């Protein structure tokens, strides 16, 4: 058990997808994470938001992404859009508060990018932050990895 | 019974609402409100809907899923619902069963589609014990390899809804309004609607299905019957629904795009 934990921490530090065991999803070091499985990458007063590898793996093949309008307000923990996979629509919740300045229009034709590239080409919205202090309440990569392991272990 | 007393019994409380012949648009709007604005668990059973209607999932496109010319000619209402999944045509022969749950009410279920679907199949295993060859096949309820129940879900941060349209019986001519879907379960193969579907009426009485479903739910929840004036609950303008009735104009525009060659023409198989 200890060596598995070490392996997953090493892998996430090195940004390696530990595909030998699907229970350990990819987690990137320089992102922040919400407990509803969204990630945020902050650059100054701007943030990019998407869903994590853990989320896309559990959701299944995404066939549709409902995007918000540019200019819409988002609040931390509030839903701003949805993904459709299998037979379900699942809310996407914002890890930060602010205003939507860009949406990833490519997802309208290629929703599968959320599965194939959840942290890169599958980004969902860009936000102008209204309260950088909110980032303190989010998890870092190590804490989020542990959170995912605990969630999966419960079920 | 108070909530603490119910919890001592180990089952969470669930409000049980029964309708008969309620319009499907109104039922879906009620469900959407309860998912978003209530913190209770709910079971809604609607024994048939009053008039035939087509119901598409959130991302459904009329030109891909419907024979729009026939739908417009016969003025069949088309509803886009707030949950995912495919297209159905519903009428008096459809029985609807909906479960709206707090995540904490069913803690063994992860708030993801496959986990909820799997849990639901365990519940319906209890309903159909010894009846037909019932199983969950991909995302459908089947007897053998014939589908009689279609499922859809919506999942929020702390709650989820799983609703099912059960075919008690169906009008073959109504299936003519639906194209063969491009996204279909593997087990369907290339069967048309008539070869793919079956009705529950060959397996058990209608009232028995409803009472067995309530019994199965009561194995997991402490149910509390609720009499609801659905008109009063859904008539307010305070809530903006995702569930919408498509206008004639929207359908005509979709048909015009189809005719202009923007969208592939009919792949209807009957």
Three-state secondary structure call for residue B37: helix
Beta bridge partners of B89: B54
The answer on pLDDT for A15 being more than 90 is: no
The answer to whether residue B267 sits within a structural domain is no
What's the average model confidence in pLDDT over A75-91? 96
The answer to whether residue B268 sits within a structural domain is no
Residue B269: predicted pLDDT: 36
Per the structure, the count of domains in chain B is: 1
Residue B267: predicted pLDDT: 43
The answer to whether residue B269 sits within a structural domain is no
Gap between the Cα atoms of A135 and A132, Å rounded: 6
Residue A2: predicted pLDDT: 46
The answer to whether residue B210 sits within a structural domain is yes
Nearest to A126 by CA among A89, A87, A72: A72
* Domains assigned to chain A: 27-154 (2.40.50.100)
Residue A12: predicted pLDDT: 46
Q: What is the mean pLDDT of chain A?
A: 88
Query: pLDDT per position in chain B (270 positions), as tens?
Result: 555 555 556 899 999 999 999 999 999 999 999 999 999 999 999 999 999 999 999 999 999 999 999 999 999 999 999 999 999 999 999 999 999 999 999 999 999 999 999 999 999 999 999 898 999 999 999 999 999 999 999 999 999 999 999 999 988 889 899 998 778 888 888 788 888 889 999 999 999 999 999 999 999 999 999 999 998 888 877 888 999 999 999 999 999 998 998 655 544 333
Residue B195: predicted pLDDT: 86
How many Å lie between the alpha carbon of B255 and the closest alpha carbon of chain A? Answer: 21
pLDDT in tens, B180-219: 877 888 888 878 888 888 999 999 999 999 999 999 999 9
Gap between the Cα atoms of B162 and B63, Å rounded: 27
Residue B22: predicted pLDDT: 97
The answer to whether residue B264 sits within a structural domain is no
The percent of residues in chain A predicted with pLDDT above 90, rounded, is 79
Chain B residues whose beta carbon lies within 8 Å of the beta carbon of residue A58: 110, 112, 114-115
What's the average model confidence in pLDDT over A113-135? 97
Q: Which residues of B touch A (CB under 8 A)?
A: 57-59, 82-86, 107-117, 139, 151-157, 183
> Which of A22, A79, A87 to mutate: most B Cβ within 10 Å?
A87
The answer on pLDDT for A13 being more than 50 is: no
Residue B3: predicted pLDDT: 54
Q: What is the CATH number of the domain that holds B214?
A: 3.30.930.10
Residue A18: predicted pLDDT: 39
Concatenated DSSP letters for B170-200?
A: --GGGGGGBPPPSS--GGGTT--HHHHB--G
Q: Is the dihedral of CA A89, B212, B167, B78 positive or negative?
A: negative
The answer to whether residue B196 sits within a structural domain is yes
**ipTM of predicted complex:** 0.90
Residue B132: predicted pLDDT: 86
Of A36, A63, A91, the CB nearest to B59: A63
The answer to whether residue B124 sits within a structural domain is yes
Gap between the Cα atoms of B53 and B109, Å rounded: 32
The answer to whether residue B270 sits within a structural domain is no
Gap between the Cα atoms of A96 and A124, Å rounded: 13
What is the extent of the structural domain holding B57? 3-259
Could you give the angle at which helices B206-218 and B113-127 cross, rounded to 10 degrees?
A: 120
- A130 vs B: CB within 8 A: no
Three-state secondary structure call for residue B268: coil
pLDDT in tens, A34-59: 999 999 999 999 999 999 999 999 99
């Amino acid at each position: 058990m200890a060596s598995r934990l070490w392996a997953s921490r090493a892998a996430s530090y090195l940004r390696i997808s530990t595909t030998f065991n699907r229970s350990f999803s990819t987690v990137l070091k320089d992102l922040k994470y919400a407990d509803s499985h969204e990630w945020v990458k902050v650059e100054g007063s701007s943030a990019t938001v998407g869903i994590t590898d853990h989320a896309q793996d559990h959701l299944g093949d995404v066939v549709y992404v409902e995007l918000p309008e540019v200019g819409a307000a988002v609040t931390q923990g509030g839903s701003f859009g949805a993904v459709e996979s299998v037979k379900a629509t699942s809310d996407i919740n914002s890890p930060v508060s602010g205003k939507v300045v860009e949406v990833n229009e490519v997802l309208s034709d290629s929703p599968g990018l959320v599965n194939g590239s959840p942290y890169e080409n599958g980004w969902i919205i860009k936000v102008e932050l209204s309260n950088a202090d909110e980032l303190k309440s989010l998890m870092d990569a190590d804490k989020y990895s542990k959170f995912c392991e605990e969630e999966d272990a419960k079920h | 019974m108070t909530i603490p007393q119910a919890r001592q019994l180990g089952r969470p409380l669930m409000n049980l609402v029964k309708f008969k012949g309620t319009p499907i648009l109104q039922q879906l709007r009620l469900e959407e409100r309860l998912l978003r604005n209530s913190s209770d668990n709910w079971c809604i059973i609607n024994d048939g809907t009053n008039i035939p209607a087509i119901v598409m999932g959130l991302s459904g496109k009329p030109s891909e899923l419907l024979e729009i010319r026939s739908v417009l000619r016969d003025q069949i209402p088309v509803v886009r619902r707030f949950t995912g999944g495919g297209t159905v045509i519903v009428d008096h022969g459809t029985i609807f069963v909906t479960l709206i749950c707090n995540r904490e009410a069913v803690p063994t279920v992860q708030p993801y589609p496959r986990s909820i679907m799997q849990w639901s199949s365990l519940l319906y295993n209890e309903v159909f014990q010894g009846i037909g060859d019932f199983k969950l096949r991909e995302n459908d309820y089947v007897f053998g390899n014939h589908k009689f129940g279609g499922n859809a879900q919506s999942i929020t941060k702390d709650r989820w809804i799983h609703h099912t349209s059960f075919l008690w019986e169906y009008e073959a001519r109504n299936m003519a309004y639906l194209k063969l879907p491009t996204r279909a379960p593997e087990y369907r193969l290339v069967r048309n609607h008539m070869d793919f579907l079956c009705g529950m009426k060959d397996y058990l009485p209608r009232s028995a299905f409803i009472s067995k479903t309530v019994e199965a739910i009561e194995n997991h929840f402490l149910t509390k019957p609720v009499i609801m004036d659905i008109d009063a609950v859904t008539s307010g303008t305070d809530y903006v629904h995702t569930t919408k009735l498509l206008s004639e104009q929207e359908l005509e525009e979709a048909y015009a795009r189809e005719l202009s060659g923007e969208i592939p023409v009919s792949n209807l198989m009957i």
